[in-house]
Amino acid sequence: MNANEFVDYILSRMERAKLASAGRVINCRCPECGDSIHKTSAHFYINTPDGETPLLYYCHKCNCGGILNYNKMIEWDIYNPDVAQFVIDYNNATSKSRKYGSYNSRTIYRVNHVYTSINSKSEEKRKYICNRLGKDLSFNDLAQLKIVVNLNDLLIENRITSLTRKEFIVNQLSQEFIGFLSVDNAFLNMRRTCEEGVVYESIDKRYINYSIFDKKNTAQRFYTIPTRLDLNTSNRIKLHISEGPFDILSIFLNLRNQENGIYTCVAGNNYYSVIMYFLQELMIPNVELHFYTDNDRYGTIDRVKSIINKIPDHSLPVFIHKNTFQDEKDFGVPAERIKESIMQLR
């Protein structure tokens, strides 16, 4: 296989794929986050072979990035033995591959998160979180849950002076958003706490992403609640997965009584990559999967089936949970507004 055949193959397999930037990249729909709700939009890019740079991919929507490899081709359902061999040989041969090696590294960044400046705005945010979850949580409780009340506090505490967005945007994010630290401590999934129209138009959304470090190194962007696992048990480890951070927080605090397990949310990520992180990267044994889905999503069962069919171990028990309380669409609410329905898929 040659470079042109590789490009033709990717163009034929990736959704809405086309050449861009005078043929230097392939632009297509993102297989990690699903891309925009607008089906004509595409924010994902893959470098075409130029003889020097490895085959990099990057999404301007969810900030995922790395070097195209065997595992990603399987994950995105574009695997072909000849293409995979071309990718391996090409990346090994390019002179700049070593420079980009950190793209796929599983680095856990050391980030201190203790200090919160106490003022009327931070107290307003604390009450917002407490009201969402129906729990009286202190600022220390929020820190333990990896909830960042003020972005600037986090940056100052860790002496981070290099900003990944404009300073005026960071100040707005600090003032009007709360953040949920990713599992690798390199990324914040931020939730607006003010009314629409208060902040700058470019960030006037319910959820905004902020990369604490170089955004190309934030490979593990999903939020996971810190817990201690008891692996010396015959019971399966329950991997609880929700759509958003408030859902998994309520499941952890209100529903599961913080029982032995993993509590994580996809927060715009790919379900499959989140699951495989725990199964293959961390090699958590004896797992069962629990999906907590929104009621406004169509085809939930088929969607979950398509995810679990990609997982090599077909013996894993799988459960789908829904909140059937009247007029509630998810689990991100106080305990008294949760009526749980559970379906076992296998």
Q: What's the mean pLDDT when you consider all of the chain?
A: 87
Which tokens hold the place of 275? 């699951």
Q: Which residue has the higher pLDDT, 195 or 60?
A: 195
* pLDDT at 107 (0 to 100): 62
In the chain, what are the domain boundaries?
Answer: 3-104, 120-217, 224-344
Residue 302 DSSP symbol: H
Give every strand in the sheet of 177-181, ordered side by side: 147-148, 177-181, 187-192, 207-211
User: Do 56 and 67 form a contact (C-beta atoms < 8 A)?
Assistant: yes
Helix (H) or strand (E) holding 207: strand 207-211
Is the pLDDT at 192 greater than 90, yes or no? yes
Please check the confidence at residue 194 and state whether its pLDDT lies above 70.
Answer: yes
Query: 224-344: which CATH topology?
Result: Dna Topoisomerase Vi A Subunit; Chain: A, domain 2 (3.40.1360)
**According to the model, what pLDDT value does residue 98 have?**
43
What is the value of pTM for the model shown? 0.71
Sign of the Cα pseudo-torsion (72, 222, 295, 258, in order): positive
